[in-house]
Amino acid sequence: MGYFGGFAIRQKTGDALNKDSAAFKLEPIHWALIAVFTLVWFVSLDVRALITPDEGRYATLSLFMAKTGDWITPRLNGILYFEKPIMQYWMGAMAFNVLGVNEFAARFWPGLTGFATVFLTGWFATRLWNARIGFYAFCVAGSSLFILGNSHFLTLDMGLTFFLTLALGAFLLAQTAESQAWRTRFNWLAWAAISGAMLSKGLVALVIPGMSAIIYMVIKRDWTLLARMNMVSGLLIFALLAGPWFVVVSLRNPGFADFFFIHEHFQRFLTDEARREGPIWYFLPMLIAGMLPWTTWLPGLFKASAAPASKRFDSRLFLIIWSVFTLVFFSVSKSKLPSYILPMFPALAMLVAARIERMSARDWCWNLVLPGALWAVSIPLFLLSTRIAERSKNSYDVVHYALNLVSVGGLLGFIGVLLSARYALKGDRPKAVLTLAMGGFLAITLLLAGHERYGHEKSAVDIAPLFKKDLAADAPVFSVAYYDQTLPYYLGRTVTLVNYSDEFSFGLQHEPEKGMTLDQFKQKWATLNQGGALMLKYTYEQLQKEGVAMKPVYEDSYRVAVIKP
C-alpha cells in the first residue's frame, strides 16, 4: 500500500516507474507545509483589487446574475453577452450569494478549481504510478507559476483546466483499470468532466481530449481504444449534463447558437477578428515562464516518457500528446491569450514528477541553477527600489511597493533552492521537492501581491466610491468612448455605454436602447441634475473644448472621472 494525501492506493505494476518503491507516508513537516500552502492559497485570493478587462467582466456577469436571479441568460452590464458559456457565472453568482460581494468571492471559483486541480494532479499520478510520484506531482503543480497565477486571477481558464484535468485523469485510469466495471465508472466520470468543461468554455472541451485520443491511436496503431471509451453511454451523459442550458438559452435567445458556435469558435480560431493575433511561437515564452521553478525539467520529458515496447496503454505517451497538442492547437489559432495553454500544465506536472523519480542528486542540483539565479537576481531589488521608483512613469508608491515584495519573494525562493539542494545531496528527495516547491510558491504569491497597487490603475476600485459619495443611488453613470470592466462591479449597478460597442456589439444590436451616441450623451448630460461619467483624458479634453460642464473627481495617468456640477 502507498499513501498520498491520506488516500491509500494499490500500486499498479504495469506502468509503475518505481516498482520497488516502498510505502510512502507524509511526515509531520510535510503536513505542516501543506497546511501553510492551503492557508496562503485561499487567503491570498483577495489581496488584490479586481482589474480590467477579464476580472471585471466575469465578476460583473456573476454579480448581476445573482442580483437579477436570471440563471439562464448572461448579461454584462445589463446587456446580452454570449461570448462564453455559463459555468463561471453560475459559480461566481453562488459565491456572491454565500460569501458576500468581495474579491474573495469573485475569485473563489478559480481559486477552488485551481486547488482541486493541484490535488487531482497528485492523486492521479499516485494512482497511475506510485505515492511518491503523486506527491511530487502535487508539489510541481501547486508551485508552477501558470497554475498558481491563473488560480488567483478571475478568468475561465482555471475552471476549464480543472474539468479537463479530471477528464484526463479519469480517462487514463479507465484505460489502466483492472476490471470492466471500474473502466466504465472512470469513463463515465471522464465524460461528465468533459460536460463541465463544455459549460466552462465551449467546444475546446471536446477538441483537446478527442484529438489527443485520435493522435494516440494513430501513433500506437491501436484503434481498440474506441471500444474502451464507453462512447454511447458517455455521449448520453455528456448530452444530459451539458445540453440543457444550451437548449434553453437558445430557445430564449434566437441568435445565441449562431453567435456562440460560429462567431465565438470558428471565426475566432480562423480569423484575427478578435484582434488577439500573435506569432506561431507566441506561447513558447508562456510555457517557459509558466513552468517556473520547474522549467529546466522540461527538456528531458520526451526521453523520460518514451513509449515502452509493449502494446499496453501508455499513460506517459498520452500525457505528452495531450500537452503537445494543446500547445500546437492554440499556437495555430488566430486568437491568442496567455492563459489558453493552461490545460497542458497539469499533464506536464505529472510528467515532471515521473522524471524527478529517476534523477540523480547531481542532475537535480544542476536543474536548480535557473530558479536559483532568478530568485537571487530578485533579492537586491529592494536596494534599488527607491531609485527605480523615482524614475518610473508610474507612481512612486506603486513601483516601490511592488519591488520590495518581489525582493522578499526572491529571498524566500532562494532559500527554498538552497534547502532543496541540501536535502537532495542528503538523499531525501521528497523534502528536496517540497522545499523547492514551497519557496517557489511563496515567491510567486508575493509577486502576485506586488501587483496590487499597480492594479488600481487598471481598476475602478478607487473611482466607484467617489461616484457613490457624490451621486444619488438613481443618478445615471456613463462610460464615454471607453469602458472599464470593473466599474459596474464596484459601483454595484449598470452604467450607460456612450459611443462604445466592442464585445457589446451583439447585445446592442438586439437592445440598442442600452447604448447612446456621443451627441445623445451631450444632450442627456445637459438635462441632468446629477450624473457621473468615466472617460479617457483626450475625450475629457475634447468635451471641455466643446463647453460640456464637468467637475473632475478623479484623475490618473489616462482616465478622468467627472460629475455634473
Quick check: is 72 in a domain? no
Q: Which of 138-142, 173-177, 509-513 has the highest mean pLDDT?
A: 138-142
| Structural domain ending residue among the three candidates 358, 386, 415 | 358
- Cell, residue 189: 466520470
Q: Judge whether 292 lies within some domain.
A: yes
pLDDT over 50 (residue 189):
yes
Write down the pLDDT at residue 382: 77
Q: Residues 336, 387: one domain?
A: no
pLDDT at position 162, please? 98
pLDDT tens per residue, range 92-114: 999 999 999 999 999 999 999 99
pLDDT tens, position by position, 515-563:
999 999 999 999 999 999 999 999 999 999 999 999 999 998 899 999 9
Total count of domains within the chain: 3
* Contact between residue 420 and residue 365 where contact means Cβ atoms under 8 Å apart: no
User: Do 189 and 326 have their domain in common?
Assistant: yes
C-alpha cell at 393: 512613469
Q: Is residue 38 part of a domain?
A: no
Task: Check whether residue 475 and residue 448 sit in a common domain.
Answer: no
For 41, phi and psi rounded to 5 degrees? -55, -50
**Residue where a domain terminates, one of 411, 428, 458:** 458
Is the confidence at residue 463, as pLDDT, over 70? yes
Within 8 A by CB and 6+ apart from 58, the residues are 88, 89, 92, 106, 154, 155, 156
Between 89-98, 263-272, 283-292, 508-517, the lowest mean confidence (pLDDT) is in 263-272
Instruction: Kindly report the average pLDDT of the chain as a whole number.
Output: 90
Per-residue pLDDT band for 83 (boundaries 50, 70, 90) equals very high
Task: Report the pLDDT value the prediction gives residue 96, as an integer from 0 to 100.
Answer: 98
Residues 434 and 302 in one domain: no
Determine the 3-state secondary structure of 479 from DSSP: strand
DSSP reduced 3-state for 244: helix
> Residues 328-336: what's their mean pLDDT?
91
* Domain extent at residue 434: 363-458
Lowest mean pLDDT among 87-91, 139-143, 174-178: 174-178
| 309 and 393 belong to one structural domain | no
Least confident of 5-9, 34-38, 347-351, 489-493: 5-9
Residue 394: its pLDDT value, please? Answer: 58
Residue 79, domain member (yes or no): no
pLDDT of residue 393: 58
Residue 208 and residue 135 share a domain: yes
Of 86, 94, 62, whose CA–CA distance to 76 is shortest? 62
Domain assignment present for 352: yes
Query: Is residue 447 domain-shared with residue 487, that is, in the same domain?
Result: no
Q: What is the pLDDT of residues 339-372, one digit of tens each?
A: 999 999 999 999 999 999 888 999 999 999 999 9
62, part of any domain = no
Does residue 410 belong to any structural domain of this protein?
yes
- Of the candidates 240, 19, 256, 49, the one whose C-alpha atom is nearest the C-alpha of residue 152 is 49
Q: Is 503 exposed, middle or buried (0-12, 13-18, 19+ CB in 10 A)?
A: middle
Q: Which of 16-30, 33-47, 226-240 has the lowest mean pLDDT?
A: 16-30
- Same domain assignment for residues 391 and 482: no
In a domain, 303, yes or no: yes
Whether the pLDDT of residue 193 is over 60: the answer is yes
Of 410, 431, 458, the one marking the end of a domain is: 458
206 plus 333 within the same structural domain: yes
pLDDT tier at 274, thresholds 50, 70, 90: low
Based on the fold, state whether residues 231 and 351 are members of the same structural domain: yes
Q: Are 367 and 297 in contact (CB under 8 A)?
A: yes
Verify that 446 and 468 share a domain, yes or no.
Answer: no
Burial tier of 392 (Cβ tally within 10 Å: 0-12, 13-18, 19+) = middle
Q: SS3 of 478, please?
A: strand
Model confidence at 15: pLDDT above 80 = no
Q: Are 307 and 418 part of one and the same domain?
A: no
* β-bridge mates for residue 559, sequence order: 536
**What value does the mean pLDDT take over residues 459-474?**
94
Instruction: Give tens-digit pLDDT for 380-419.
Output: 887 776 766 566 555 767 777 788 899 999 999 999 999 9
